[in-house]
């Protein structure tokens, strides 16, 4: 009887210890400090920082400076500039490249050119030039621009120096009824010789046109 009592008591003791031990282990597991999810926490921090940066207002950038054209030293009205020279002309007329109109593939060049301008029926202007290094007397090109059939020089040939340029000038009459008067001039500039001619309705108009042309003439 005593042995049976000891057996039953031992069994009950073991049965009591098993659930007790399980409960203790469960409580210990519940009370143990949990390991923080380091990677998940870092990802959340990164997201929060990025969202904060995006939400921050961006300072307004200063607009770039606006370029404004500088004023031209001289008026371009009534000024023709091409082929490395400039020359004055009436503001209401324009020069055309005569060589280009005759042959599109062979326009004027630095060394050889022919321009004309007109305002029917009051004025017709011609300008030719030729590269001739070392030439000091431009009269040969004046003779070239004068038309033997239509132009007659009047008075003596005027020879003068204008801004280091040798200039020859003469008034003319023409056989063209619409423009019976005119003048012609030639000069040297650098390695080129230029010749100019105008037909006008009044005798004094051509001289004024030549003076304006030479006042604004320059060659590069």
Tens digits of residue pLDDT in 122-142:
899 999 999 999 999 999 999
Task: Please give the chain's pLDDT, 220 residues, in tens.
Answer: 444 334 444 444 444 444 444 444 444 445 545 554 555 666 666 666 566 656 656 666 666 766 656 655 556 678 999 999 999 999 889 999 999 888 877 899 999 999 999 988 889 999 999 999 999 999 999 999 999 999 999 988 999 999 999 999 999 999 999 999 999 999 999 999 999 999 999 989 999 999 999 999 999 7
Q: Which are the contacts of 24, defined by CB distance < 8 A and separation ≥ 6?
A: none
User: What helix, strand, coil percent values describe the chain, rounded to 5?
Assistant: 35, 30, 35
Tens digits of residue pLDDT in 32-46:
455 545 556 666 666
| Encoded tokens for 187 | 């000069």
Name the nearest CA neighbour of 101 among 89, 88, 117.
117
Q: Do the Cβ atoms of 176 and 150 come closer than 8 Å?
A: yes
C-alpha distances out from residue 129 to 15, 132, 169, 200, Å: 129, 9, 16, 22
Q: Whole-angstrom Cα distance, residue 47 to residue 45?
A: 5
Beta strands in the chain (DSSP E): 79-82, 85-88, 96-97, 112-119, 123-131, 151-153, 158-162, 165-174, 181-189, 192-200, 218-219
Concatenating the DSSP letter of every residue in 114-146 gives EEEEEETTTEEEEEEEEE-TT---THHHHHHHS
Cα radius of gyration (the chain): 51
- List phi, psi (to 5°) of 184: -145, 150
Name the nearest CA neighbour of 154 among 203, 211, 118, 116.
203
What is the 8-class DSSP label of residue 178? T
């Amino acid at each position: 009887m005593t042995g049976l009592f000891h057996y039953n008591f031992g069994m009950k003791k073991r049965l009591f210890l098993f659930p007790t031990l399980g409960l203790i282990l469960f409580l210990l597991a519940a009370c143990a400090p949990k390991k923080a999810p380091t990677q998940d926490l870092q990802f959340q921090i990164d997201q929060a920082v990025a969202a904060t940066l995006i939400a921050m207002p961006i300072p307004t950038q200063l607009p770039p400076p606006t370029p404004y054209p500088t004023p031209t030293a001289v008026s371009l009205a009534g000024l023709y500039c091409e082929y490395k020279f400039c020359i004055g002309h009436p503001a209401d007329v324009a020069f055309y490249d005569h060589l280009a109109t005759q042959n599109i593939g062979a326009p004027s060049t630095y060394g050889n050119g022919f321009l004309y301008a007109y305002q029917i029926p009051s004025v017709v202007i011609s300008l030719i030039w030729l590269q001739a290094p070392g030439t000091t007397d431009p009269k040969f090109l004046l003779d070239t621009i004068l038309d033997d059939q239509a132009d007659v020089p009047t008075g003596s040939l005027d020879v003068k120096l204008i801004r280091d340029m040798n200039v020859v000038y003469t008034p003319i009459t023409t056989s063209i009824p619409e423009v019976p008067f005119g003048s012609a001039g030639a000069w040297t500039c650098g390695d080129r010789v230029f010749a100019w001619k105008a037909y006008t309705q009044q005798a004094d108009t051509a001289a004024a046109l030549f003076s304006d042309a030479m006042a604004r003439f320059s060659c590069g």
